[in-house]
Amino acid sequence: MPEERTYNGAVPPPGCPAHEATPLQQDDLRRLFGPEAEADPAGLYEKLRAEHGEVAPVLLHGDLPAWLVLGYSANLTAMRTPSRFSRDSRRWTEFQEGRVAPDSPVLPVIAWQPTCSFVDGEEHRRLRTAVTDGLNNFDRRGMRRYVTRFADQLIAEFGSIGKVDLVSEFAEHLPMLVMTQLVGMPEEYGPRLVEAARDLVRGTETAVASNEYVVESLRRTMDRKRSDPGADLVTRLMQHPSGLTEDEVLQHVRSVLLAANETTINLIAETLKMVLTDGRFRAHLSGGQMTLPDALDQVLWDSPPFMLVPGRWATGDTELGGRHIKAGDMLLIGLAAGNADPAVRPDLNQPLFGNRSHLAFGSGPHECPGQEIGRAIAETGIDILLTRLPDLQLAVEEEELVWRGNWMSRHLTELPARFTPRVAFQPQDPTTTASAPVVSTPEPAPHTPPAATVPPAAPAPVVPEQRRGWWAGLMAKLRG
């Protein structure tokens, strides 16, 4: 790591010639990847802010250069000015000059795809309207019913044991189980999709096989929706007046599934951690200050599910936060760094009850169209959990909790909790979701890739004898 450049502790103001008079060499730049950066990203952002101000030059894997936007207002400018900062990654100079290795770990998120995330202007409006129309059709009550049903099913798996890892047995399952229903996929795809989706974003060697599993599952669902349409996202995208091609439908549903899963898992896990450790929330239960929606917002400020999103690409030579940005440079939108900008939050310990002006869902034309769905899954799921297990408490010291990170996000690895075991716990009957979106009839799961390339199947949870029925049924269907 290069020596710190503190400018005697002072931050040069935007436009200060100190930034430009001594152009930084590659060796001076901090890396956003590697164990040191990933262990304490917030600390890294603060060092970068002290050294560079609102916009910092950084290096990505393979020492590819990028600008990390740290300032709250500079982030808003980058996201809200598509004429200067495009979402089209094909503009990246590093791509055009062949400096991105074919196995670069940034490729899965940066390589151009035919989805609304990678286009601007009229084309963006065409694709995004189809997605937002498809998502807006799910009413909140129908959603809550789904979340309640799946949360109850998950709680039933560990409810009589008295202990649980809330990350691997709850947070990692709930969003994908709900999303399969909104998308129109058969319910029994859920558990394998949970594994495949996580594996995919972790970029492990089984990521390609996992991606194939997701794509194959979607292909089968689309095939079936052609003859058996329903009130689901796949059908709505296929029938939308925007006229999406088959490939566009597939790519959009895939990216919705992935965008929804990883983020909502993080939101649930971090909020549960807060609920179990923050005295302000516990105080609320006995008439104190913090409600569950407040806790969600506090997490969206302090630990946004994506710490940063790549990216924006400069359409021409321009300026941001006092830095000269060249045409084709990549900007990383620093959601976590922007949320902690002293210009908007001089005291990070000051609670922000009810304040939703955080950057966690982005802003401008690409602002997250699924934020209400993500919030509803997290809020309802946690509410059900706390209602069913009112004496839920952390089973380890808070200091023992561990996070695993990458350059875009970090995840709690475990959240062990204990509670008084519940003996008789019946999840709702899955057939009682009359007004909710159509639940597909079961169909065989897609071909499972060969064992060597398959991501490890989720370890079967320890299921109390009286609850084995639901899980065993699912596993039996999955195994064919």
- Binding residues for ligand HEM (CB under 6 A): 79, 116-117, 128, 131, 135, 255-256, 259-260, 263-264, 267, 305-306, 309, 335, 360-362, 366, 368-371, 373-374
Q: Which residue's Cβ lies closest to ligand HEM?
A: 370
Q: How far is the CB of 215 from ligand HEM (least distance, A)?
A: 17
Name the minimum Å distance from CB 273 to ligand HEM: 16
Task: Name 181's Cβ contacts closer than 8 Å, sequence gap at least 6.
Answer: 146, 187, 232, 436, 437, 439
Report in angstroms how near the CB of residue 175 gets to ligand HEM at its nearest.
7
Closer to ligand HEM by CB, 61 or 128: give it: 128
Nearer of residues 19 and 145 to ligand HEM, judged by Cβ: 145
From the CB of 131, what's the least distance to ligand HEM, in Å? Answer: 5
- Given the complex with ligand HEM, which of 116 and 185 has the nearer CB atom? 116
Give 3-state DSSP helix, strand, coil % of the chain, rounded to 5.
Answer: 50, 10, 40
Inter-helix orientation angle 174-183/190-202, to 10°: 110
Residue nearer to ligand HEM on the CB measure, 70 or 267: 267
Q: Is 149 exposed, middle or buried (0-12, 13-18, 19+ CB in 10 A)?
A: buried
CB of 118 to ligand HEM, least distance (A): 8
Q: Are 394 and 277 in contact (CB under 8 A)?
A: yes
Measured from the CB atom, the residue of 165 and 297 that comes closer to ligand HEM is 297
How distant, in Å, are the alpha carbons of 2, 67, 68, 251, 322 from that of 18? 18, 17, 18, 45, 11
362 versus 437: smaller Cβ distance to ligand HEM? 362
Cβ(332)–Cβ(275) below 8 Å: no
How many whole angstroms separate alpha carbon 447 and alpha carbon 243?
A: 30
Phi-psi region of 44 (alpha: psi -120 to 50; beta: other; left: phi over 0): alpha
Nearer to ligand HEM, 189 or 361 (CB): 361
The DSSP call for residue 77 is H
Rounded to the nearest whole angstrom, what is the least distance from the CB of residue 451 to ligand HEM in the complex? 32
Residues 6+ apart with CB under 8 A from 406: 33, 38, 202, 203
Give the nearest distance from C-beta 420 to ligand HEM in angstroms: 30
